[in-house]
Each structure stands twice: as C-alpha cells, then as structure tokens.
Amino acid sequence: MDDCLFCKILKGEIPSEKIYEDDKVYAFKDIAPMAKYHFLFIPKEHGQNINDVSDFNTIFEAIKKVVAEYNFTDDGYRVVTNVNKFGGQTVFHTHFHLLAGEQLTGFGR
Ligand code: AMP
Ligand code: ZN
C-alpha cells in the first residue's frame, strides 16, 4: 500500500534495522523501544491488523526463531499485537511486538 509506513519500510523507502527476514515475514527494531529488546514482526503482504490475518503460523514461527536465536526462551518475553482504537494501534499494517531482555510490567503486574 502506497500510504503505509511499514510497506515503505518493506520497500526500503524508510530505513529500518533488520532482525529477521524470510519470504513472508520481515522483522526490525522498534524505533521507540519499550524494553531492552523491542522488535516488530510484519507480514510482507499488507493487511490492516490481525482482523485480516488467517495464517498465524508463519509469523509465529518467525518470532520463535528469533526468540531462540536471542536466547529469550527461558528468561521469557512478551508478544503483543494492538488492534484499532481500543487496542491503541497507531500503524495500520499488521505487526507483532516482541519485547524481551528485562522484567516487563503492565497487565496489572
Ligand atoms: P502500534 O502502536 O501497536 O501500532 O505500534 C507501532 C509501533 O511502530 C510503535 O511501537 C512505534 O514505535 C513503531 N514505529 C513507528 N515508526 C517506526 C519506524 N520508522 N521504524 C520502526 N518502528 C517504528
Ligand atoms: Zn502496509
């Protein structure tokens, strides 16, 4: 989509720090990290959010690969996806946040 920030990142029109890539998924560092490690995983095919997703396996396989590569497995991590207004979504291209590397707070904890 022409007017989509993450599509522009995929096209290389906006720079990003790549973490992972395969034929269907791209992952890069969040520009405003909310944890020591904060990566975004996006499908290469544009969709607005997970309301448009039918195949969740591909993106979660990619997340798990990065989790293993960065040794987040045992200490733990958090995966978040925000949807529309109540979810606080600000970029309308499906993405999953991977947060790790320190104790995470929120969700009443
Ligand atoms: P959300 O609020 O769930 O829609 O998440 C959008 C995320 O995109 C936020 O965490 C932003 O910090 C991040 N973001 C916005 N612009 C960029 C960019 N140019 N490069 C990397 N991350 C970005
Ligand atoms: Zn897009």
Q: Domains of the chain (ranges plus CATH)?
A: 5-100 (3.30.428.10)
From the CA of 14, the nearest ligand is 1
Pocket test for ligand 1, best of 49, 91, 95 (most atoms within 8 A of CB): 91
| pTM score | 0.98
108 vs 54, higher pLDDT:
54
The pLDDT of residue 2: 85
Rounded CA-CA distance 79/60 in Å is: 10
109 vs 59, higher pLDDT:
59
The pLDDT of residue 17: 98
State CA 23 to chain mean position distance.
16
CA of 66 to the centre of ligand 2 (A): 22
Identify whether 38 is a catalytic site residue: no
E strand or H helix at 85: helix 84-87
Give per-residue pLDDT as tens, 33-89: 999 999 999 999 999 999 999 999 999 999 999 999 999 999 999 999 999 999 999
What is the dihedral angle through the alpha carbons of 59, 65, 70, 76, rounded to the nearest 10 degrees?
70
